Amino acid sequence: MHKVVHSESLKNALVQKGWTQKQLAEAMGVSAQSVTNWLKGDDFPRPDKLLRLATTLKLRLDELIQTSTHASEKPVVAFRRRAATKTTEAHIAKAQSMGTLLGPLVDHLPPLRALRTELPNPSTSYADLQRAVAQTRAKLGIGQQAVLQYATLIGEFAANDAFIVPVLWGEKQNHGNALHILLPAQRVTFIYLNLDTRIEDFKFWMAHELAHVYTPDLAGSETGEDFADAFAGALLFTQPLAEQAYREAAAPSRKAEAIAALKRHAQEHAISLFTVYREVQAYARARNLPPLPLNEGSDVHAVRNNQRGQLVSALLFDPLPPEPAAYVAAARSTFGSEFFPSLQRMLREHGTGASYVQQVLDVPLADATAIHATLMR
């Protein structure tokens, strides 16, 4: 992949500002020859200079960078959207720009693994899903009715060169609660998980992202999203668990008692009531049994929305927002993430500025500056 600055975009931006190349060089703190080399395609700005160039000229990275990248080498992105939000072209372009910037970080990651888990023929049919889930749980060394622990999920990301990036994006401010960026050329994945998420939803999103890791060819497609949702629910609440919950919830004549039975399972497995309900109903359909006489909206979601758990960030940090050092430490200790140690190596080796941190974490510059200072100590 050969990257060059999009000279026409840069020249047009200079015209709009009424600047010469020399004035741009002065604003950038570089030589006039450096700007000339960028325009001619003889050189490409380092990440910190690239970000400063984009900020100075008010250009998006996708407007500033021209690549000869084949479509199969472009970053592949997938969002775990918040309810009622829509993924736009702007969201995709921004995420792909983040992926482009993550490319130089790969050289600073731990040695990559040669063997990874992939599901060869992913299918959302009930029987196929249950077979895939049973084999996955056997591989992970846990029984079909065991609680799937966070530590097991985290370890499986690491085993497949998927690097968790815990972020604090706010409970409602951001478009998505998770972002998956696959760099096909390097075969490396970055999983952004929003810690400002309710605890009962967090494990499902992790399992959803693991499904993407297992099916890289489907990443970024609607088919991939459908499979990831189906796989996550089945992995967290398997057929034997759904069968038991169905028996317990179908026996009572009152809705409140049926809901209470499902809630017990949800609490035991640290997942949402909706996930349990959905898997139980899927089990009933597969076995030609009467569905539970519960309404998804007025019964299940109403109870779920009135009894929300704490945010993951609130469970991890007190007070909020955390100090940068505590945040970086938790990424390593809680999520086993090599992201910040790798980022630290890159920053120190190349002297990359805080604007790079801002772009790859998608956080305000003030927060990025504080994190940058912590990593540079």
Average pLDDT over residues 41-58: 82
Number of domains making up the chain: 3
Question: Is the domain of 93 the same as that of 225?
Answer: yes
Full-model pTM: 0.82
Residue with the larger pLDDT of the pair 247 and 172: 247
Q: What is the pLDDT of residue 174?
A: 63
Q: Poorest-confidence range of 76-90, 144-158, 170-184, 352-366?
A: 76-90
Question: Is the domain of 147 the same as that of 204?
Answer: yes
Q: What is the pLDDT of residue 58?
A: 84
Domain boundary among 233, 252, 283: 233
Upper half-sphere CA count for residue 149 (Cβ side, 13 Å): 9
Pairing of strands 162-167, 188-194: parallel
Question: Is the domain of 195 the same as that of 250?
Answer: no
Question: Is the domain of 254 the same as that of 229?
Answer: no
Query: Phi-psi bin for 113: left (phi > 0), alpha (psi -120 to 50), beta?
Result: beta
Whole-number Å distance between alpha carbons of 371 and 365: 10
Question: Is the domain of 251 the same as that of 225?
Answer: no
Question: Is the domain of 226 the same as that of 249?
Answer: no
Domain boundary among 233, 259, 289: 233
Question: Is the domain of 173 the same as that of 85?
Answer: yes
Q: Is 211 inside any structural domain?
A: yes
Domain containing residue 33: 3-68
Helix (H) or strand (E) holding 357: helix 354-361
Whole-number Å distance between alpha carbons of 335 and 151: 8
Q: Poorest-confidence range of 132-136, 196-200, 216-220?
A: 216-220
Question: Is the domain of 215 the same as that of 264?
Answer: no
Q: Is 312 inside any structural domain?
A: no
Q: Is 323 inside any structural domain?
A: no
Question: Is the domain of 229 the same as that of 244?
Answer: no
Q: Is 343 inside any structural domain?
A: no
Q: Is 313 inside any structural domain?
A: no
Q: What is the pLDDT of residue 81?
A: 62
Question: Is the domain of 224 the same as that of 275?
Answer: no
Residue 86 pLDDT > 80, yes or no? Answer: no
Q: Is 359 inside any structural domain?
A: no
Q: Is 338 inside any structural domain?
A: no
Q: What is the pLDDT of residue 10?
A: 86
Give the residue among 217, 207, 80, 227 at the shortest CA–CA distance from 136.
207
Enter the tokens of residue 188.
């490396």
Under the banding of pLDDT at 50, 70 and 90, the label for residue 246 is very high
Q: Poorest-confidence range of 70-84, 274-288, 298-312, 349-363?
A: 70-84
Domain boundary among 68, 95, 112: 68
Q: Is 207 inside any structural domain?
A: yes
pLDDT digits over 110-153, tens only? 999 888 999 988 999 999 999 999 999 999 999 999 999 999 99
Question: Is the domain of 289 the same as that of 220?
Answer: no
pLDDT digits over 282-334, tens only? 999 999 999 999 988 888 877 776 677 899 999 999 999 999 999 999 999 99
DSSP state of 175: S
Upper half-sphere CA count for residue 92 (Cβ side, 13 Å): 10
Question: Is the domain of 80 the same as that of 58?
Answer: no
CATH code at position 59: 1.10.260.40
Give the residue among 251, 182, 258 at the shortest CA–CA distance from 221.
182
The mean pLDDT of the chain is 89
Residue 1 pLDDT > 60, yes or no? Answer: no
User: What percent of the chain is modeled with pLDDT above 70?
Assistant: 94
